[in-house]
Structure 1
Amino acid sequence: MTAVATAGAGPLQDRRSSLVGDVVAVFWREMFLVLRDPFSLIFSLVQPLVFLALFGPLLGGSIDPAALGGQSPLQWFLPGVIVMICLFGTGAAGSNLLFEISLGSYERVLASPLRRSAILIGRALKELAPLVVQAALIVVVSIPFGFVLHPLHVIVGLVLLGVFGVGMGAFSYALAIAARKREWMFWAVQQSLLFPLLILSGMMLPLENGPRWMQVIGAFNPLTWIVNAERALFSGSFADPAIGWAVLAAVLTCAAGLWVGVRQVHRSTS
């Protein structure tokens, strides 16, 4: 009996020691579930295009052309749309977890030898995967309308957004686990936090045109630095100081989200 247990402990120990392997396993499990429902995937691709088509024409009277340095308003607006997609996608990620908890499939995942942090990271990356396709689609569609593509800068911007999105997704999962017996609480807290973060980041409209108190609060909003950095990167600049602050905000958000998420998972299973 001891020999069998010892023999089986080798692969199990190796599996536990590979965080990257666990993340990849969780990611592909979640992506398989997404690919089984192509309608939601198609809708997620069409939605940002509709938003861009309806909101984009309003930019002309809302943004001072001099502030854009002669660039197309899309150069300012498109990064905000991509950040918004990331924010809503990862912020609502916990709703899928609530559904799995109700079906009992989440408990089966916890019974596997996967690292708790790998479960959170893999699931959050699944929420970010469609972002890459959405961003590519939006950028390609926007090029004929004046958007100038800087491929390397866009890739760096998406990596930065991915780090931030993992943290936001982990926070969303932690909230879902905490509210698993009262689902309405998840949506109440999520909506109460998400929209102020969005508005006070200058994502859709520049904060410079708003009252002073909004500008002050926006300066302490980590999402503001992410949005400013994405706009600098999509405009082809690596020298903007906002990029350094955004890297710090993204890393701290990712670390804090995973710490809170892992603690919440351990509390729910102890």
Structure 2
Amino acid sequence: MSEQTRTTAPAVASTTHEAPRIVTRTGPGKFFADTGAVFTREILLVLRDPFTLIFSLLQPLIFLGLFGPLLTGTFGGGFGGPGGEGLTTGETLQWFVPGVIVMISLFGTSMTGSNLLYEIMTGSYERVLATPLDRSAILVGRALKEFAPLLVQGLLIAVVCIPFGFTFHVVPALVGLVLLGIFGIGVGAFSHALALAAKNREWLFWGVQQSLLFPLLILSGMMLPLEAGPSWMQTAAKFNPLTYMVDAERVLFAGTFDDPAVLWGVVAAAATCAVGVAVGIRSTRRTV
């Protein structure tokens, strides 16, 4: 028996080995890696159906084609330069195009929760929560997925308007789009939190989303100048963070950095992003 033990012991020893160490990222490295994983998963779904991106370009082009001439006539009627002279089509587009880009980005990021509602109904969202993904990375990755196509759309719209007199300042415009992306992360996080609060009641999500979306758009001066509105609208616009985003985008798309509107836009974007992500993370943890 002792001889058999001596002959088998080396074989047992040769098959034993140390368990592999699992290296996990922590801190900022984990956040960026998880955000990239969520973004890749979400954007692949969009790339598999590119016709949705093409179709989504119709709405801003309709606004430019139908609303733009109306604005040109309005500006020509007295909202033009210091002497009341009218503006050209190119000058009108310089004012209107940044507002349209903000509008389509707001539409996209505010509907982040609609995709989440579908995943909740199908049960796939629970499987995502079961993974070791960072909760804030889930929010940011989803919001970036909504904003990335809008970034391409914004650039295409600006390029399309160049033959009609629109001046495209590349570097300031890209800075404006990055700033808009930060703001969109916060809006997407708010939409995410709203979807979690609504859960299986889609009507509640859409009711709240639509009730908030259009007043914010109108009170930001995105479509029409607020200078022509009553004093109470101008006062309400000062409490609308979207107002500062629209003003900053118009200044940046005009090729200017050294304007106080840019600084106020940075503050509005950072505050919206910080508060939105905090609210979204809190809502996500409550569902676990």
TM range (shorter): over 0.9
Shift of 1:69: 8.1
Instruction: Indicate yes or no: 2:107 matched with 1:92.
Output: no
Shift of 1:40: 1.3
Q: Where does residue 61 of structure 1 map in the other structure?
A: 73
What TM-score do the two structures reach when normalised by structure 1?
0.93
Instruction: Indicate yes or no: 2:56 matched with 1:41.
Output: no
Give yes or no for contact 2:186–2:276 (8 Å, CA) kept in 1. Answer: yes
Q: Distance in 1 between matches of 2:80 and 2:55?
A: 33
Local SS of the residue matching 2:81: helix
Q: Which aligned pairs between 1:36-185 and structure 2 lie closer than 5 A? A: 36-63=48-75, 64-66=79-81, 72-185=91-204
Q: Distance in 2 between matches of 1:14 and 1:75?
A: 46
Gaps of 5+ in 2: 1-17
Q: Please report the RMSD computed on the Cα atoms of aligned residues, expressed in angstroms.
A: 1.7
RCO higher in structure (CA 8 A, sep ≥6) = 1
Give yes or no for contact 1:200–1:217 (8 Å, CA) kept in 2. Answer: yes
Where does structure 1 differ by over 3 angstroms across 4 or more consecutive aligned residues? 67-71
Shift of 1:15: 6.7
Shift of 1:42: 1.4
Equivalent AA in structure 1 for residue 100 of structure 2? V
Gaps of 5+ in 1: none
Give yes or no for contact 2:61–2:157 (8 Å, CA) kept in 1. Answer: yes
What TM-score do the two structures reach when normalised by structure 2?
0.87
Q: Number of residues paired by the alignment?
A: 263
Q: Distance in 2 between matches of 1:229 and 1:145?
A: 23
Q: Distance in 2 between matches of 1:181 and 1:100?
A: 11
109-118 vs 31-40, which moves further = 31-40
Give yes or no for contact 2:135–2:281 (8 Å, CA) kept in 1. Answer: yes
Instruction: Indicate yes or no: 2:259 matched with 1:248.
Output: no
Q: More helix per residue: 1 or 2?
A: 1
Q: Where does residue 40 of structure 2 map in the other structure?
A: 28
Amino-acid identity (%): 63
Equivalent AA in structure 1 for residue 46 of structure 2? V
Shift of 1:39: 2.3
Local SS of the residue matching 1:149: coil
